[in-house]
Chain A
């Protein structure tokens, strides 16, 4: 089994096919979207492939060290061009092909007009912690 991170972007990813901001959907379309995500997670729990799923707030801040005793320099709110991560799901699957299949399915969540969003998700494999035996 291998763990993968499915990253959902607010911005920074290529534009989705059905690219309408969520606040302009019909209310029932939002409900349907949330339900789709929830059903997806529940089904993966059932198949033993679910690890974690979290949504992130849009309010992010850049922080850096700026010398002893000085306040960190912050940079925000984000400029339009900056990448912003909306949330993630972590799955633990048998193969890379299975990870692709699930990512595609998640990307098909219904959006405006009840049609799939076709949004781009970033798929990243986890680096494991256990060293292999081969020397």
Chain B
């Protein structure tokens, strides 16, 4: 039973139903019903044309539901308008579905849930587990989201930037439960990249591939965070790195720079260094300059300060940091790091302890606590 195939087909099938006149929420429900049916029937009787099979069954489910809910007249109009069976659709509806699921009228959390369900084909249960909330809660989030976008008309292309933000949110959730959300985000972004030639879609795909390639080295066997400089580069996935670099180069060649391409370029420079010492920090600073120019994002400025510290020394890094708002997330952790490199372990230890108290994730807090403890032990000894 090929569950991956089912998930891949989901968006196209929803798209067909919506184009045939089904409203989005009912189409999505009908396709979920068809998927359940497929899981039951296919192991014994795999259809020759899986997509055609799903379209037929989902359409029938939709009609059944419509029959139950609406008047007889209404139903007959729909049956009348049913196109000839078969899956010979020329238009690609999947793109529309991405835009709809990431519609600006939705909150980020709802957009993520809806995208995973409608474009990704995940079940409500899987999504709920990944986000560690009860299934009933997630079911409500999804059905509210569906209702919100149900009436949305799609006569002009949606906003690619919004779609990319949603996919990046999914990627950053990492993984828990039985679905690897990072892997899922890559799959969906690949699908999107195959359908549109937007440079930033390629940029985001490259960024995800390059980050994902380092995942095996990012945490130790005990779950502790391993900083980039200490990672075992032998654990990096060279195949993913090569692919990420290829995708990025093709995007950069089109000369329309965006923030995801710039971020991917930084990631590529890290991936390219055989050891931490060989990292090309000067070029990384240049890319952060581009990123700051493009987004004026304070987090980009903070990362730039770290890069400056590596390229021009801790003093220069601290000077760059001094221009930023100390309330920024991770500001204190960066300050601690730069002070230690500047030869001031007392200040560094105090700042690491402070940073640990305001950390927002468990691995990060533990890492910062260990750094503080390491310096304090050295100061005592």
Chain A residues in contact with chain B, CB under 8 A? Answer: 1, 3, 45-52, 92, 94, 125, 127-135
Contact = CB atoms under 8 A, between A and B. Distances in A.
Contacts of B218: 131, 135
30 contacts: A1-B131, A3-B132, A45-B134, A47-B140, A48-B109, A48-B137, A50-B133, A50-B134, A51-B133, A51-B134, A51-B137, A92-B131, A94-B108, A125-B360, A127-B365, A128-B360, A128-B362, A129-B176, A129-B361, A129-B362, A130-B175, A130-B176, A131-B218, A131-B225, A131-B363, A132-B364, A133-B171, A134-B330, A135-B218, A135-B227
Nearest to B136: A45
B303 A92 contact: no
A47 B138 CA distance: 9
B275 interface: no
B295 interface: no
A45 B143 CA distance: 12
Nearest to B299: A134
A135 to B, nearest CB: 4
Given A94-B107, A129-B176, A133-B211, A48 B362 contact: no
B171 A131 contact: no
B346 interface: no
Interface in B170-189: 171-176
Nearest to A3: B132
A110 to B, nearest CB: 26
Given A51-B134, A92-B137, A130-B174, 15 more contacts: A45-B140, A48-B144, A94-B107, A127-B360, A127-B365, A129-B176, A129-B363, A130-B361, A131-B219, A132-B172, A132-B361, A133-B171, A134-B299, A134-B330, A135-B218
A38 to B, nearest CB: 15
Q: Which 7 A-B pairs have the closest CB atoms?
A: A48-B141, A130-B174, A135-B228, A1-B109, A131-B363, A48-B140, A127-B362
Contacts of A45: 134, 136-137, 140
Nearest to B214: A135
A2 to B, nearest CB: 8
Contacts of A133: 171-172, 211
Interface string B323-335: 0000000100000
A6 to B, nearest CB: 15
A127 B363 CA distance: 9
B138 A48 contact: yes
Contact of B140 (A46, A51, A135): A46
Nearest to A44: B137
B227 to A, nearest CB: 7
Interface in B335-375: 359-365
A39 B33 CA distance: 32
A4 B138 CA distance: 17
Contacts of A128: 360-362
A76 to B, nearest CB: 30
Nearest to B211: A133
A132 B110 CA distance: 21
A59 B107 CA distance: 42
Interface string B220-235: 0000010110000000
Contact of B359 (A3, A127, A130): A127
A122 to B, nearest CB: 17
A129 B219 CA distance: 12
B172 to A, nearest CB: 6
Interface in B157-213: 171-176, 211
A45 B134 CA distance: 9
A128 B137 CA distance: 19
Central interface residue in B174, B227, B299, by most chain A CB within 10 Å: B174
Contacts of B270: 135
Nearest to B142: A48
